[in-house]
Structure 1
Amino acid sequence: MDPTLCRELHHSVASAIGEGARGIVLTGSPRIFSAGLDVPYLLSLGDDRKAITEAWQAFFGAARALAASTVPVVAAITGHAPAGGCVYALCCDYRIMAAGDFRIGLNETRVGLIAPEGIQRLMRRVVGLHRAERLLVSGEMVDAAAALRIGLVDELVDMGPEHDTAALVARAHEWLQALLALPHDAMRHTREIARAEVVESLQPEHVDLERFVDAWFEPGTQSALKALVAQLGKK
């Protein structure tokens, strides 16, 4: 996810709601829901703190749009969802993940990044305090079965040997349709109350972007990020 994609996602959520959408399905490509932020692009920005800050602002802007959506949003997690992909999934109302050897989690510490308080709140909300601590501090990525077991995702769908996303997206639509069949005002207002802490978690004071960007430029972080890019280049 580079800034352009994040801004387009933000715009797409707003446009869909403005055009009368009653629900939204957020999905990705077969095998990869989202690989997170475009680290090679971010590293290409070098020491340009303004550009780095704007890139992260675009990322968090899209996260806030998902979290504050006035209509339900389902994450149809078609494959791996590390870091930023996991954050976006956590901002959704419901998470349906492809069954199989796919992993999801917040692996920021493994590349020298701090998981902001707001992001930690999102994780704690779905898996509980102690388990969230263990996952966040270690940067562990869990497989789909474990994600279901600990509540990080709500259900799994088998995409078959061809990794066809159609069944997964169809199940997301099915879940939305069941929710939207409820008395509208009661569902809408109850949802708004229930999700207030999701919106609150992503307020600027809980993200502390300046501190996050400071950490980005730490030598250890830069070394870890460059090693990650080198590893990806070998695959």
Structure 2
Amino acid sequence: MSEQASPFVSYKLTGDVALVELDDGRVNVLSHEVIAALHAALDRAEHEARAVVVTGRPGKFSAGFDLKVMQAGPEEARDLFRAGMDLFLRQYEFPIPIVAACTGHALAAGAIWLMCCDVRVGADVQAKIGLNETAIGMVLPTSVVTLARDRLSPRHVHSSVLLARLYSPEAATDAGYLDWVVPAEELDEAAAAEAAGLAGNLSIKAFAATRRIIRGPVAKAARNMLDDDTKSFTVGLET
């Protein structure tokens, strides 16, 4: 049975897999309310699941941070950036596997969200995926660039970070935002099957310990950058 963690975030436990779905009826922006609800869903999953699937609404995984908040003023933008990065880094270090079912567009913070999941399965639909910050007058914070260097293909880091290259789901598998794509009607089943396989095949204790080894240094470096990144975070630089 699906339960509403908030008006926009639902949670459903099936066997050992927790399904966390974001659907705001529009483009799935990340607000403080949504971020808090995603934390609450992860709190539950950490105690009762062995793997997680995070997904969006059809055609829209996430358009990134809520622009109404980001454009409300410098402090509001910095607070939302910090809240989002705390969520993403929590996912990056989460003690059980997280599978993303990318339903469509994943832009800016939506692309960062994908980078912080373990396995990313995409729907083969017309969609754009990527870090478009420099195209909209924003400087990518050092902590985000650090994550991009870790999770994206080295051949695509420059294009993704500096040139704001956006990718189709198929091309995003080469760039490193996604691992593979499936027909849209098969996405839910494919992501659930992947998560169930991880839940059944992995030792969660060994997974968590190895996670600390492979991702701990990157996460620590990114966290150490966050205070400075937050202070210098700006929205809407002149083009």
TM-score range, shorter chain: 0.7 to 0.9
Q: What percent of counterpart residues are identical?
A: 27
Contact 1:14–1:65 at 8 Å: present in 2 too?
no
Map of 2:229 onto structure 1: 208
Aligned to 2:52: 24
- Assess, with a 3 A threshold, how the Cα gap between structure 1 residues 68 and 191 changes in structure 2: closer, same or farther: closer
2:12 corresponds to: none
* Mapped partners of 2:123, 2:196: distance in 1: 20
Contact 1:68/1:199, CA 8 A, preserved across alignment: yes
Task: Indicate conservation of the 8 Å contact 1:122/1:201, yes or no.
Answer: no
Q: Are the aligned partners of 1:83 and 1:106 in contact in 2 as well (CA < 8 Å)?
A: yes
Q: After TM superposition, list the pairs within 5 Å mapping 1:123-134 onto structure 2.
A: 123-134=148-159
Q: What SS class does the counterpart of residue 202 from structure 1 fall into?
A: helix
Instruction: From the two aligned structures, give the one with the greater helix fraction.
Output: 1
Number of residue pairs the alignment of both structures matches: 208
Residue in structure 2 matched with residue 199 of structure 1 by the alignment: 219
Larger Rg: 1
Q: Conserved in 1, the CA contact under 8 Å of 2:130 and 2:166?
A: yes
Gap runs ≥5 in structure 2: 1-29
Which structure carries more relative contact order (alpha carbon 8 Å, separation 6+)?
Answer: 1
Query: In angstroms, what is the RMSD of aligned CA positions?
Result: 2.1
Alignment of 1:55-74 (within 5 A): 55-74=80-99
Rounded to whole Å, the distance in 2 between the matches of 1:183 and 1:5 is: 30
TM-score, normalising length: structure 1: 0.80
Residue identity matched to 1:145: E
Q: Shift of residue 181 of structure 1?
A: 2.5
SS of alignment partner, residue 203 of structure 1:
helix
Q: Does residue 176 of structure 1 match 2:206?
A: no
Alignment of 1:23-42 (within 5 A): 23-42=51-70
Indicate yes or no: 2:143 matched with 1:99.
Answer: no
How far apart, CA to CA, are the structure 1 residues paired with 2:81 and 2:206?
36
* Residues 95, 207 of structure 2: 8 Å contact kept: no
Deviation, 1:24, is: 0.9
Aligned-partner residue type, residue 200 of structure 1: K
Three-state SS of the structure 1 residue aligned to 2:184 is coil
SS in 1 for 2:117: coil
* Cα distance in 2, alignment partners of residues 58 and 158 from structure 1: 33
- By percentage of residues, which structure has more strand? 2
Q: Aligned in 2, Cα 1:176/1:39: closer, same or farther, shift over 3 Å?
A: same
Say if 1:25 and 1:169, in contact at 8 Å, map to a contact too. no
